[in-house]
Structure 1
Amino acid sequence: MAEKLKGQLNDLVRYSRDLGSQSDRVTALIKQHNSLSLRASRECQNKERLLEQKFRAALRDFQQWLVNAKISTAKCFDVPQSVAEAFTALQRIQEFLSDREHGQARLSTVGASGELLMAVVSKDRVEGIKAKVANAREDWKSLMNNLKMREDALKNLQSQMTEFEASAEPLQDWLNSTEVRVQESSARLHDLPAKKKELSKLQCVLEEKASREAELGRLRERAHRLWEGQAAGKGFVHRVSQLSAQYLALSNLTKVTLPPPWPPLLSIWTSV
């Protein structure tokens, strides 16, 4: 309508000499045109201001969600000390990823409000708004990628930890039960009729120790791989150290229990 009035105004001014009697009408049209132009300008400014407020609010909302997301998942990136800790971290990440629609909705709002704002602002501001929307999308992508990579790493780590525990448990049981057997044999060695049998048992223990030592070595290698790769804490290395100490104590107990020098004596008793 403002353009129409402007056209009429131009026509009137062009023929003003012939329309002297219409000067009041020309003045009124000028005032009306100016008023409409001012109103339209204010409405555009108000619309732009409102859209900018919505865009900024959407961006703040998304950025706050992003900060909260990083805080709530931060512990998932700590080095787990046990299978239980790895499981808890993995579960937390999976719960977050399954509920990521809240963040996705906020990001979509940022994009939509940015598009509306870019449609009304001056061209020199469009690139700045585009950059903010692009940064928000990149932040989202980075967070999702990091969480997915951590999820995969924790799955692999949990599997390795479980395998380690599955291998360590039988060795631990063997050490405990063998320690009891050696102590029982030691208590019976004073009984001459039972001595041959008990020495034979101790000989079996020494033979079993050789295979268990190789098993202990493999566990030690696994534990160091987990620790050196910074995938897991030093708890597994400590566990192997404890098993090694128990293994050494058992070896010493077995040697002390056998009368020195035990190989000749053992052959004598076993030949009886």
Structure 2
Amino acid sequence: MKKIIATLLCCFAVQQATAESRCTITPGSWFKQERIDCTYRGIRIPSSAITDREVIWELPLGTPPAGGWPVALIYQGSFLPVEFSRKKNDPFGGYWEARTIKALLDAGYAVIAPRAPAELAWHTNMLSPDEIYELSTDYSFLNNVFDAIDAGLFGPLNGDRKYATGISSGGYNTSRMAVSWPGEFKALVVHSASYAVCAGPACVVPLNLPDDHPPTRFVHGFLDTIAPWWAMDLYYDRLLWEGIETDRLTEVMGSHEWFPSSPNAVVSWFNAHQ
């Protein structure tokens, strides 16, 4: 009986802890996994003259600050669109991606998750050498998303305080924000990826990076075999060499995934760059 009461009190404490959040954490049991569910909204935004894509987003609870909520864009990995509800054992640490969304919302960031083409992967590192990124539907789509932020389509947001993060393909796309939208982002967190045009072990970081490259933190598993740790390290070293603020969190036993450390790693970096 004491164990049952203790379990009920634990569950009540978890629900109380998330009572002022957009997200609810449901503890696991012998019969089901722990899960997180965050509310969200959806809209479709043009990606070309004849196509559009879904964007899901949510605002923090409470009254927005003067100028509007700061904005955290989160970019999906290959084949795995960002979801605002996840179970504890979802692949690639998806549960901790959703916990990162919760941490951002609770910290007062609006969270916007645009979809990649066909919900597969971003163009940033998939174009042939003779293709120009600025002609891709990613470029037009994300410009339309940024315009929608400024126009108030997502609510009272501060377009001058944009941040970005994402895993794998979304991590490369996070780096793309520094390359193709100079001066637009306050800070970036590249997760399990490297420079914008790299692809796994095929990675060459240019000798000269944008002068206004945002402060960038890397979160990476040392045992990652999809996007090797050393490829991230090339980018990290280049930022150091050019005097651009950077930082890295290495999960020594980590693979290609979100980690329990990811929510704090993202929010603390964004908070440090207001």
When normalised by structure 1's length, the TM-score is 0.23
Higher RCO, Cα 8 Å, sep 6+:
1
Higher helix share: 1
Which structure's CA Rg is the greater one? Answer: 1
Higher strand share: 2
